[in-house]
Structure 1
């Protein structure tokens, strides 16, 4: 069942308040460490974002600076920062830095339009198994998986069939509201020659054969 749910995707669309633009500068600001008299720590980070409409200098929390490092953000990259959660997403390299060669692996994107601070439709692709894991061990936050966890109020440490059914109900609700859509995937079965006739009969309806649907529904 875990492998089945890994192969079923969910595309979620949310309208979020973000800061978006091409990075013009990243400047970490150091301060004396309060824990000891030696060494320094990052107190905050200054970052410049540019769009077609203008530029903006932001003063960010040290945790967001760590996220910038994890995303490997450099000057010239196009990013957006979610205002509520502070999560950072690197969209790609600004196409102003694109060269005439085709062998570069970098993905180039256009300079964002509008203001740096805006409301943006953020698209997130997850699998049903990702939702299972996130809600089995909820961490809190403002993303869709944490919000789903708050709706069904799980306090579990393992993925149970009951948890999956609860998640399915919430997923169906999001689909009915037009917030999300299912993305069919592909399930690879290795060592297929080891399967017996009953297994093949179970898989047959998935290939468009209507027979034995009562058997499939139990799974």
Structure 2
């Protein structure tokens, strides 16, 4: 989820469920974008004197939360539709499969199992072993390697708009999709949802839309059809 001073429902929901969501912060980056510089004393002087307003977004990068909780449907129900939700689909990585916690009564009676969903936290911990994190920095962090914050970034997710694909070269496409297979993101700049994939998804998307029509699910195109009928 893209994080840029979240307010209202998004902020409240994030705070309410953060223990279960297990958020891990990384960087959201526009193609070839730079990290905002740390403000200098000269930058802050007019703000301190009341001659200029402080704009939070001018000094803070577009950070993103990776929710390590594995309940994808629940996460979508919480945040999808508020303009900042991104889903990526990765190739399977055996390093992310945790060994089972022994199901012994003596272990399950420990206080941690009574107060927390220890199994989910255990599963989330193993997601940190996914090669995605370092690979995302190699591919989407080009040009930032000398930034002081670069080594501390846990991952980098592209903050794409539709026009970024029109401006990209073929070799860029190929490299992007070594990190993930499918990228789906809410895109306020495009007034919709951006879907990008390594392989052709036309048949899959067509089948989904046909099922939506058959099940009477809402869709702008189908609403027009129903009114005409």
Which category describes the TM-score, using the shorter chain as reference length? under 0.3
Of Structure 1 and Structure 2, the greater strand share is in 1
Of Structure 1 and Structure 2, the greater helix share is in 2
Task: Give the TM-score normalised by structure 2.
Answer: 0.21
